[in-house]
Structure 1
Amino acid sequence: MVSWLEELERREAAARDRIAELRGQIDELTALLVEQEGVLSRLEITRETMGEILSAASAVSGPGADKDEVAESANGPMAEAVLTGSPVGVRLVPTWSAELEAEVLPSSYRDIVEILGDAVHPMRAHQLCAALGLSTDKNKVEGFRSKLKRLVERDWIAELEPGLFAARGTPLPTERAPGQPEDAGRR
């Protein structure tokens, strides 16, 4: 039979062990809490910085704004971001206009416009992929098609009929181009 003194010591030891275990869990949770507070702090700083960049960029009165005016309206590091042309909120593919050349486009888009400009016939997305040396796997071609649609939306190229792309101003062909179905091009 166990004496009451031994039972009391056993219970005290168990309580001390449980306290040590709980303190270990508290230390773990404290470390996780500090880590998550750091993440939240970085996100808040990012939100503030982006707000400053966007508000400084919106302070620019438009494309004719003088860089000196911009420098006066923005201060500190924000002035540098505005003056150097922060890509935030900027269209990488501008809408076509007579005064713009294809050189204003990112190289991947510029290559598409140049290939279509040199092409004899309108081309489909998979033909353009092949001409550019890109993969012609279906999923890659579908992703590439979004670039073509963006160029069509911004008037850099024309979609003569669904899936048939050509340089802007190209008339609809009257005969079948290579790779087109038998009934394509005859209207």
Structure 2
Amino acid sequence: MPSVLGMLEAREKKVREEVARLREEAERVQAALVAAEGALVRLAGARETVAEVLGEQAGQGGELTSGAVAGSTVPHLGGNAVVEVLAPEYQQILRVLAVPEAAGGMRVKQILAGLGWEATPTRVEGVRSRVKRLAARGWVTEVRPNVFVSAMTTESAAAG
């Protein structure tokens, strides 16, 4: 008859092997997720660059001179531009920058926390590029290097 300790040791060995297998699988899935997020950021950037180039060409031809360009996710902030013309992820960033706690400005990692996203290198760079794009189009103001506030908040403060 096998001893109870022997049976427990055999069971423990089997569970340790399962834990090691699951850890390896989790590492593989995590690496695949990071690679997929990186590809997504690169594709979104490429799409936006193409939309910008096409918009500039259309603007030079006199067809489109202001406002949203077809396929553009971040049009220039104009007199009648509303947040709803932006893609959802840009709207989320502007909502985070609109909270009272953001009045002094927020860094990218603070914006990520406000979005409820994990601060992985891929996400940090993705949000950084989006915020910089918003700043270039007038939706956000960079008050200090890498510190951003909503341009709509600063406009209403200047008007009031």
Give the helix-richer structure, 1 or 2: 2
Q: State the TM-score, normalizing by the size of structure 2.
A: 0.50
Rg comparison, structure with higher value? 1
Q: State the TM-score, normalizing by the size of structure 1.
A: 0.43
